Structure 1
Amino acid sequence: MLNSHCFRLDAADEANEWHTQATDLLIRYNIPITPVCYHVAYEYVTQRHGELTRIIDAQLNKTGHLDSHFLFHLFENLCLEGAENDKLDDHLADLHNLLFKVLEGVTNNCSQTDLFSETLLNQSHALDANPSLEDLRGIAQTLMQATTQAMQNNRMLQDHLESAEEQSLSLQSEVKKLRDEISTDALTGLFNRRALNKRMHELVEAHNGASTPFSILMLDIDHFKRFNDNFGHVIGDEVIRRVGLIMRDQLRDVDFPARYGGEEFTVLLPGTDITHAISIAETIHQSVAKLILIKRSTKEKLPSVTVSVGAASCRRGDSPETLLERADQALYQAKEEGRNRIVSEAEITYM
């Protein structure tokens, strides 16, 4: 399902104008006019999807270039974000209905148990009344029938509960899987942009409420376009994936590494001041520099991978946007100064 931002019926004259602009945009950057690329280009020229527009503008300002890989990533993260939530809601509804069915079964069994108890009490009274031999046979038959029915009801309830438990475990597993998918970037296994935004708001709010230290890093793979142009998108994806693995290996459990978009990453560092954040950035920076990639088909050693990093620390009154802006400015300066370096917000001179 497409995000509601990304699916509207436009008037014919507007649609024709935007179609021309979207096509021109793709041709300008030598991007094949596939359905996905065209869809993102069309949404961009309409300027009605604020987040998508902002990301593309930032990419153009930073690199002056777009490619199909970047547009596909935007489509996957911004234009399909409703589908997984719908699936999750369906599974939660199924789990809810299953619990109601269990409750219904237990309630019904309790009613049957009450009837069995009433039968036992009635037959007990009959025994107290000095019954005849024929009456005793009737009481015995009634008790046998009631006991048999009670045993059948208990077996049915047990089967019902066992089936419900199996279904519940399956649904819970699906819910967890979908929640993980909703918050995870498929290529790197890191958190995705949606999860990042949510966690960012939580940490900024916590900082403003209790002044606990909180810093962020923004990382960009240097000259990433060269990997795509010279070796193809498969190698480019592998570079992104390996950098993501390094980040996960070097960070603490409490840290929050996310793929921000394309070859750019963000790391949220709760309980961390700017000095410690720089130290963490240096560890990641050095580990990436040691990365060795070999092209399997030719055994060719690929060029070294390096990253530029910008670091910023949350200030009282910050919003997620202002904090990200300072980290992004620091990253921009690191790239302006030649890349393959770390810049703290305190060093920012490009404004």
Structure 2
Amino acid sequence: MTGASSSHAAIPQHGLTDRLTRWARGLSSKAEADQDVGESDPQRVRPGSIAHREITRRRKLYEDIGDFLFAHDLDLTPLNFGVAHDYLTGSHIGVEKAVKAVLAERGKITNGWVETVAAEQRTDEVTADALASMLSQVEENLSQFTGLMTESRNSAKDYGAALQEEVKGLSAEGNNEPVLARLVALTRSMVEKTRQVEMQLRNNQKQNLALKSSLETARRAAEHDHLTGLPNRRAFETALRQELELARERNEQLSVAFCDIDHFKQINDLHGHDTGDRVLKFVAGLLSKISNDRCHVARHGGEEFVMLFRGKTAAEACEAVDGVRADLSTRSLVNRTNGERMERVSFSAGVANVLFYDDPRAALKAADRALYLAKEHGRNRVYLAAEAD
């Protein structure tokens, strides 16, 4: 952000920044006007009031977003605006960390990079169109099923009525062959209709089974990381809400840990992305060994994993994570492509007690800060966030 501020100070507002600033002022003026309309108290929005502070905060945020986009020469698109917003507000940890990493490495981001990081953050999501298509097919099949059942019932009623009419024509004595012939024809017709309905029902059942499998696959794709098989960030956030509720109800501890593989970029650069993927899966396997119904492990994105421990203090969770770290640090991994031994693979981690914070997102940030301290102090270690963090 230092670069953004200096650029803005050196260059007069124009173009993108100017448009955003004018837009922010317009919104602020509208908000002030809306507060005043219909209010008899002229001091409703006064300097220092809550409403005024909120207007000022939003105006500052819009200006900061404009400065950020302008400093990096980014187009004014919803995607760029969203990434800038997530980074500046910290509302999306994955985006915030990705932006920090690329700024530390290159000092600048591009339109193409924003598209890439946005795609990476959404690789585990099933598109709304795909789900809508599958659900529409389910509804169509259910509609067909209902129609077949109605048709079958109507055919049976028609057959019964026709049968009764023909039976009336039967006499105790006399030639009944014409009536019997019509009865046989009616019966054959009913048998054929029944056979057709049964065939359509079987086909409908096959389609429903295939759709059920597709929906299950979609559900799994929406909640699991395709590479490691672990739950993804979306599933973790759901687990966090559920476990936090349980912990409060049962008066139990709840701790969270972020784990990040050390020097992962070097692994990819030296050994290739296929080897990097195998390292990710290996680490995921070690972490998942300690998971159970009270310990959730998920891939948070990139080379980072997140763990949730219900019933453990932060110190106890720290000990559990450190056990996995120590196990990994003793392993001697081999590059399967060329058979060469790899440099020692390790991870760093940060742990925080979720219940020390009013907002679970603040606990995640505390664990993330502890992780970065572990990185700064030498890596291959686990740090515990301070209570007053």
**TM-score when normalising by structure 1:** 0.76
CA gap of 1:47–1:21, structure 2 versus 1, over 3 A, is closer
Is the CA contact (8 Å cut-off) linking 2:125 and 2:221 kept in structure 1? no
1:14 aligns with 2:12: no
Matched position secondary structure for 1:343? strand
1:154 to 194, 199, 215: 194
Equivalent in 313, 317, 340 of residue 300 of structure 1: 340
Question: 2:159 maps to which residue?
Answer: 116
**Contact (CA 8 Å) 1:120, 1:143: kept in 2 or not?**
yes
- Highest RCO, 1 vs 2 (Cα 8 Å, sep ≥ 6): 1
Structure 2 counterpart of 1:277, from 311, 317, 320: 317
- Aligned to 1:191, the other structure's residue is in SS state coil
**Cα distance in 2 between the residues matched to 1:70 and 1:13:** 22
* 1:145 to 1:269, Cα distance in 2 relative to 1, 3 A: farther
* 1:186-335 matched pairs, under 5 angstroms: 186-252=226-292, 255-315=295-355, 318-335=358-375
Give secondary structure in 1 for the equivalent of 2:255: strand
Aligned-pair CA distance for 1:342: 1.9
TM-superposed deviation, 1:116: 1.6
One-letter amino acid matched to 2:16? E
Per-residue deviation, 1:292: 2.5
Q: What is the one-letter code of the residue matched to 2:97?
A: A
1:90 aligns with 2:133: yes
Per-residue CA deviations over 1:146-191 (Å, capped at 9, x if unaligned) read: 2111111211121111111111111111111111112222332222
Between the aligned partners of 1:322 and 1:21, the Cα distance in structure 2 is 24
Say which SS state the counterpart of residue 169 (structure 2) adopts: helix
Q: Which amino acid is the alignment partner of residue 289 of structure 1? A: S
Mapped contact 1:84–1:178 kept (Cα < 8 A)? no
Preserved contact between residue 83 and residue 114 of structure 2 (Cα < 8 Å):
no
Flag the 1:243–1:216 CA change in 2: closer, same or farther, 3 A: same
Verify the 8 A CA contact 1:214 1:273 in the aligned structure 2.
yes
Partner of 2:52: none
Contact 1:330/1:343 (CA < 8 Å) preserved in 2?
A: yes
TM-score normalised by structure 2 residue count: 0.70
Residue 260 to residue 238, structure 1, CA distance change in 2 (3 Å): same
Structure 1, gaps ≥5 residues long: 1-11, 27-36
Residue pair 1:208, 1:317 contacting (<8 A) in 2 also: no
The CA distance in 1 between the partners of 2:359 and 2:181, in whole Å, is 78
Cα distance in 1 for partners of 2:81, 2:328 equals 33
Aligned twin of 1:58 = 97
Q: Distance in 2 between matches of 1:93 and 1:125?
A: 48
Map of 2:57 onto structure 1? none
Q: CA separation of 1:313/1:75 partners in 2, compared to 1, >3 Å: closer, same or farther?
A: same
Which among 117, 121, 125 is matched to residue 74 of structure 1? Answer: 117
Partner residue of 1:132?
Answer: 174
Give the secondary-structure state (helix, strand or coil) at the position aligned to 2:349: strand
Q: Which runs of 5+ in 2 are unaligned?
A: 1-13, 20-64
Out of 80, 104, 123, the residue aligned to residue 43 of structure 1 is 80
Aligned residues: 325
The answer (yes or no) to whether the contact 1:204–1:318 under 8 Å persists in 2 is no
Q: CA deviation at 1:114?
A: 1.0
Q: 2:121, 2:301 within 8 Å by CA — same for their partners in 1?
A: no
> How far has the Cα of 1:205 moved from its partner?
3.3
Quote the Cα distance in structure 1 between the aligned partners of 2:173 and 2:76. 87
Q: Secondary structure, in 3 states, of the residue corresponding to 1:242?
A: helix
Please report how far the alpha carbon of residue 100 of structure 1 lies from its aligned counterpart in structure 2 after TM superposition. Answer: 1.4
Q: Please tell me the root mean square deviation across aligned C-alpha atoms, in Å.
A: 3.9
What corresponds to 2:28 in structure 1?
Answer: none
Tell me what 2:218 maps to: 178
SS of corresponding position for 1:282: helix
Give the C-alpha shift of residue 216 in structure 1.
Answer: 1.8
Structure-2 change in CA distance of 1:70 and 1:323 (3 Å): farther
Deviation at 1:144, TM superposition (A): 0.7
Amino acid at match of 1:132: G
Shift of 1:62: 6.6
